[in-house]
A and B are shown apart, each in its own frame.
Chain A
Amino acid sequence: AQKITQTQPGMFVQEKEAVTLDCTYDTSDQSYGLFWYKQPSSGEMIFLIYQGSYDEQNATEGRYSLNFQKARKSANLVISASQLGDSAMYFCAMREATGELIFGSGTRLLVRP
């Protein structure tokens, strides 16, 4: 079974609107971390946001927030007020006790002007 599932290969959003990128995960660990990374067309991997499994509050970083629903094992990324520069590939990832960082297959976001 896939540990990290991103079901949206591609998404469009209008500039200035909010968009939600889906991520579900599978783990039997009680302690784990969830991460989102952005990969622009230039190729580098940029860390966006982190959510710990024991964190009761949803993580936020500027225009990024993580909608963490532990019982449903989902960790969706919400980008508010989309900008053209948000067009990129977005990866959800999980780190379990082993330390290995496991990635989903990614979602390509395109922001329309």
Chain B
Amino acid sequence: EAQVTQNPRYLITVTGKKLTVTCSQNMNHEYMSWYRQDPGLGLRQIYYSMNVEVTDKGDVPEGYKVSRKEKRNFPLILESPSPNQTSLYFCASSLPGQVFEAFFGQGTRLTVV
């Protein structure tokens, strides 16, 4: 089954404790991205990657890191989480080009206390 898998689904952590949210897709998609969803703001892109070893900042990259060492994986790293990073996070993947829809993971609800 074609899918994007994020882990964990839920996470509560403390300020400053490094964490990684994993994202893996099995569709051989070149394009992967991370979004955060906050009430009233929709989904805002954090980082995206157009292929292996190619990553770029989205609209809200501060406080986040990513890596793309393999095509299928695109982890999101919070080196020193803060409460304002409490949010619902989505990973998405797609083929490149404007015509292709993005496939989303199930989301990770992160709370930083």
Contact = CB atoms under 8 A, between A and B. Distances in A.
Contacts of B35: 103
Which are the 7 A-B pairs with shortest beta-carbon distances? Answer: A45-B104, A33-B98, A105-B42, A103-B43, A103-B42, A47-B101, A95-B98
Contacts, number: 62
A58 B43 CA distance: 25
Interface string A69-113: 000000000000000000000010101110111111110000000
Contacts of B74: none
B107 A33 contact: no
Contacts of A64: none
Contacts of B90: 45
Interface string A37-54: 100000111010010110
B48 A99 contact: yes
Contact of B88 (A4, A43, A52, A102): A43
30 contacts: A4-B42, A32-B98, A33-B98, A35-B101, A35-B102, A43-B88, A43-B107, A44-B107, A45-B92, A45-B104, A47-B101, A47-B103, A50-B99, A53-B98, A99-B31, A99-B48, A99-B96, A99-B97, A99-B98, A100-B45, A100-B48, A100-B58, A101-B92, A101-B102, A102-B45, A103-B42, A103-B43, A103-B44, A105-B41, A106-B42
A14 interface: no
B43 A91 contact: yes
Interface of B: 31, 33, 35, 40-45, 48, 50, 58, 88, 90, 92, 94, 96-104, 106-107, 109
A69 to B, nearest CB: 18
Nearest to A50: B101
A52 B44 CA distance: 22
Contacts of B58: 100
Contact of A91 (B42, B50, B99, B103): B42
Contact of A99 (B50, B103, B106): B50
B98 A96 contact: yes
A7 interface: no
